[in-house]
């Protein structure tokens, strides 16, 4: 096994800590490796496979669209692109006049949001918060105040300010020179921290007071992950724009800046663009995904099962804290090497998980998981921790 893995690594850049598993097939909440061993997936390609692996409606939409047109570019229209923009604007909750700019990834959606905010308030600063994660390209990285991610790539983009994710700190940081505040309503990559309604409300008020744009990064917490379509919904605080990506096209690369009326008309011809973005195959897949996740019964199930999940996780041996809601949760473990645990979960329990820190496991089950499978997954986790 070790030798075979070393051989596989030979021509791949060594920037990922990959587990020694070769996956070959997926269906719903299950994955199979090349030897045919079955796994339960509570990691979902990092919050991407929300409708499960190879959802039949997504597969059918991709097959059908790929057979008629794969790419034509952004100097023309395609029906899937137009339909997905209308559908996203409609379900965004951002109001009349909302427009969508498509990208190929989350970080590019963030870049679009930052450029849009900067054009709206020239040379304005961007305020982000600690533990936030917005992507790896330079603008998004500059809004991601994590030493380990930023330091090797300095100097970063000027004009970014990082503060604690508290109402007071955000209020104090925003002034007439602020272009935007960018936040994840539920911070994902750093280990699932729900910022809560007070922080979001303070950010909204500070932005309103000074005419800055409020951008919510919904790339991970959006599209039903928390049991609401958007992570901000429970707070009632509406942003000026959102970034969406990960789960949007069921596994195909896509992202979007969904800009409400305050930001929708900032970009003009020539301001920004992307060759592949808004391609018909991705957008057809996106429409199929929205058909599944924009379903009140599905979302209510995620909320209910999410509460059950929180309660069960809290009782597992060695768990000192459970964070998050819906199907976006993390557990904090006492005295455990979480990375080693992820490896053991795979090899001993056939359970796919991920660690966001030395003692933190993150659980991102597919929204369509059967309650019995979720129970089974928690049983396997219990066996691992016992
Ligand atoms: C994953 C993620 C990104 C970056 O998305 P990529 O598609 O990896 O570029 C940005 N923001 C949040 C909140 C994310 O979880």
pLDDT at 213 over 90: yes
Predicted local distance difference test score (pLDDT) of residue 117: 98
Q: Is 183 in the pocket of ligand 1 (CB under 6 A)?
A: no
C-alpha dihedral (360, 365, 367, 369), degrees to nearest 10: -150
The backbone torsions φ and ψ at residue 277, rounded to the nearest 5 degrees and listed phi first, read -60, 140
Residue 228 in tokens: 């609401």
Q: Is the CB of 184 under 6 A from ligand 1?
A: yes
Whether residue 1 is predicted with pLDDT greater than 70 in this model: the reply is no
Check if 189 has its Cβ closer than 6 Å to any atom of ligand 1. yes
Q: Which ranges of the chain would DSSP assign to H, the alpha helix?
A: 2-9, 44-47, 56-66, 79-91, 106-120, 138-142, 147-150, 167-173, 196-210, 280-293, 296-314, 338-349, 371-385
3, two tokens: 């030798």
Q: What is the DSSP letter of 212?
A: P
Q: What average pLDDT does the structure give for the chain?
A: 97
**In percent, how much of the chain has pLDDT > 70?**
99
Return the best residue to mutate from 139, 142, 185, 189 for the ligand 1 pocket (most ligand atoms within 8 A of CB). 189
Residue 53, C-beta contacts closer than 8 angstroms, at least 6 positions apart: 25, 26, 27, 28, 29, 30, 31, 41, 251, 366
CB neighbours of 380 closer than 8 A, spacing ≥ 6? 40, 345, 349, 350, 351
Q: How far apart are CA 199 and CA 380, in angstroms?
A: 36
Place of tokens 């679009």: 112
188 CA: nearest ligand 1 atom: 15
Give yes or no for residue 80 CB within 6 A of ligand 1.
Answer: no
Cα 294 vs. chain centroid, distance in angstroms?
17
Nearest to 328 by CA among 218, 250, 252: 218
**What is the spatial distance between Cα 9 and Cα 131, in angstroms, rounded to a whole number?**
31
Query: What separation in Å is there between the alpha carbon of 68 and the centre of ligand 1?
Result: 30
Ligand 1 atom, smallest distance to 140 CA:
10
Q: What is the Å distance from ligand 1's center to 225 Cα?
A: 14
With a 6 Å cutoff on the Cβ, whether 191 touches ligand 1 is no
pLDDT band at 336 (very low <50, low <70, confident <90, very high): confident
Mean pLDDT for the stretch of residues 261-265: 98
Mean pLDDT of the 195-217 span: 98
Q: Cα–chain-centroid distance for residue 61?
A: 22
pLDDT at 214: 99
With a CB cutoff of 8 Å and minimum separation 6, the contacts of 203 are 167, 170, 174, 181, 183, 214, 237
What pLDDT, on the 0 to 100 scale, is given for residue 7?
87
Mean pLDDT of 194-213: 98
Residue 316's pLDDT band, with cuts at 50, 70 and 90, is: very high
* Contact 104 CB / ligand 1 (< 6 Å): no
Q: What is the pLDDT of residues 153-178, one digit of tens each?
A: 999 999 999 999 999 999 999 999 99
Regarding the beta carbon of 111 and ligand 1, being less than 6 Å apart is answered no
103 SS3 class: strand
Q: Which of 136, 183, 184, 220 to mutate to test the pocket of ligand 1 (most atoms within 8 A of CB)?
A: 220
Question: Is the confidence at residue 280, as pLDDT, over 90?
Answer: yes
Predicted local distance difference test score (pLDDT) of residue 4: 77
Distance 185 CA to ligand 1 centre (A): 13
pLDDT, tens digit, for every residue of 74-109? 999 999 999 999 999 999 999 999 999 999 999 999
Q: Is the CB of 218 under 6 A from ligand 1?
A: no
Tell me: pLDDT of 36 over 60.
Answer: yes
Please give the pLDDT value at position 109: 99
Q: How far apart are CA 236 and CA 50, in angstroms?
A: 24
Q: Are the CB atoms for 170 and 139 separated by under 8 Å?
A: no
Angle, nearest 10°, between helix axes 280-293 and 296-314? 70
Please report the atom of ligand 1 found closest to the CA of residue 220. Answer: 15
Closest CA to 293 of 47, 46, 97, 102: 47
Q: Quick: pLDDT tens for 40-71.
A: 999 999 999 999 999 999 999 999 999 999 99
Q: Looking at per-residue confidence, does 281 or 2 come out higher?
A: 281
Residue 2's pLDDT is: 62
Instruction: Judge whether 258 and 93 are in contact, CB under 8 Å.
Output: no
pLDDT of residue 211: 98
């Amino acid at each position: 096994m070790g030798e075979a893995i070393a051989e596989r690594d030979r021509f791949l850049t060594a920037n990922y800590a990959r587990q020694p598993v070769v996956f070959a097939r997926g269906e719903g909440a299950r994955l199979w490796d090349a030897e045919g061993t079955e796994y339960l997936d509570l990691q979902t390609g990092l919050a991407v496979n929300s409708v499960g692996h190879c959802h039949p409606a997504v597969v059918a939409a991709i097959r059908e669209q790929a057979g008629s047109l794969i790419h034509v570019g952004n100097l023309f229209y395609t029906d899937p692109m137009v339909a997905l923009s209308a559908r996203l604007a409609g379900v965004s909750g951002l109001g009349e006049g909302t427009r969508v700019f498509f990208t190929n990834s989350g970080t590019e959606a963030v870049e679009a949001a930052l450029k849009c905010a900067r054009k709206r308030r020239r040379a304005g600063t961007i305020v982000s918060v600690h533990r936030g994660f917005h992507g790896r390209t330079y603008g998004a990285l500059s809004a991601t105040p994590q030493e380990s991610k930023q330091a090797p790539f300095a100097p970063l983009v000027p004009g970014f300010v990082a503060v604690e994710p508290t109402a007071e700190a955000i209020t104090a940081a925003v002034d007439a020179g602020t272009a935007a505040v960018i936040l994840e309503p539920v911070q994902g990559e750093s280990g699932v921290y729900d910022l809560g309604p007070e922080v979001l409300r303070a950010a909204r008020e500070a932005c309103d007071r000074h005419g800055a744009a409020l951008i919510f990064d919904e790339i991970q917490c959006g599209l039903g992950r928390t049991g609401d379509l958007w992570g901000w919904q429970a707070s009632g605080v509406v942003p000026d724009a959102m970034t969406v990506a990960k789960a949007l096209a069921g596994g195909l690369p896509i992202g979007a800046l969904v800009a409400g009326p305050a930001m929708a008309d900032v970009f003009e011809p020539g301001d920004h663009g992307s060759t592949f973005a808004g391609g018909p195959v991705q957008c057809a897949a996106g429409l199929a995904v929205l058909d599944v996740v924009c379903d009140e019964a599905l979302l209510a199930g995620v909320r209910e099962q999410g509460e059950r999940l929180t309660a069960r996780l809290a009782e597992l041996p060695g768990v000192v804290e459970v964070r998050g809601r819906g199907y976006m949760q993390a557990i904090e473990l006492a005295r455990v090497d979480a990375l080693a645990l992820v490896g053991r979960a795979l090899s001993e329990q056939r359970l796919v998980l991920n660690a966001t820190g030395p003692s933190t496991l993150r659980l991102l089950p597919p929204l369509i998981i059967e309650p019995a499978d979720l129970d089974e997954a928690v049983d396997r986790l219990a066996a691992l921790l016992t």
